[in-house]
Amino acid sequence: MELRVRPRAVVFDMDGLMLDSERALMGCLEQTAQQQGHVLPRSLLLSLIGSPDAVTRQKLADVLGLESTDLLLAASYARYADIVDAGVPLRPGIVELLELLREHAIPRAVATATRSPLAQRKLAAAGLLPYFQFVATSSDVAHSKPAPDIYLHAAHGLGIAPADCLALEDSPTGVRAALAAGMTTIQIPDLLEPDEEVRGYGHHITASLHDVRALLQQWLPISAA
């Protein structure tokens, strides 16, 4: 994997990319559904990855009905809140990557479909908030991912053109948003592997954040000189 241009900033997705929150939330949904007498297909849970709250609610309601969905989400989010307050586990390699970028004074922002202030709370509890100069959430824009709005807002917040930003994403929904914003994009899949359609987008795909760090080390010493 090789970048054609040297990005001036890096914009990070949050859930599934920096935080192991997708797995945690899916666990909360599965456990709560079982307690309430429902069975949620694995395919349905995977389809929720990267989706804004309204889409998640609608997909569940299509299967369970609105009343059951609202009860399920209320109990699941309450269970998930305890995990958030304790600090959602970090994805491997995220701290090392952030430390490298901070060492070389490369601007960093978050672009997350999670709403504020929950996004700020999750980042703070996980110890990641101090690494970022700007946090863009779905509360800040008219349209959530896969629209480019959140990524464009993040770039604007850093004062750097989207074309000069590197976006890091785990989900196909997020990848579409970052590419639509005009950013160089690297996908690090978590629970959802990219299918043939997603691979056809022409972006970079790699196995871990350690790979991203190794890639950026090729040009960061030059830019810091």
pLDDT at residue 102 greater than cutoff 90: yes
Q: Model's pTM, two decimal places?
A: 0.89
Note the Cα 190 to chain centre separation in Å. Answer: 10
Helix, strand or coil, per DSSP, at residue 74: helix
The structure tokens listed for 198 are 């997603």
pLDDT at 220: 76
Q: Who has greater pLDDT, 222 or 34?
A: 34
**pLDDT score, position 6:** 84
Q: How far apart are CA 12 and CA 198, in angstroms?
A: 19
Considering Cα of 58, then 61, then 67, then 72, what sign does the dihedral take?
A: negative
Cα 19–Cα 24–Cα 27 angle in degrees, nearest 5: 160
Query: What are the tens digits of pLDDT across the range 164-176?
Result: 999 999 999 999 9
Alpha-helix runs per DSSP H in 8-93: 21-35, 42-47, 53-64, 66-86
pLDDT band of residue 105 (cuts 50, 70, 90) is very high
Residue for token pair 């100069």: 133
Query: What pLDDT digit, counting tens, does each position of 162-210 carry?
Result: 999 999 999 999 999 999 999 999 999 988 889 999 999 999 999 999 9
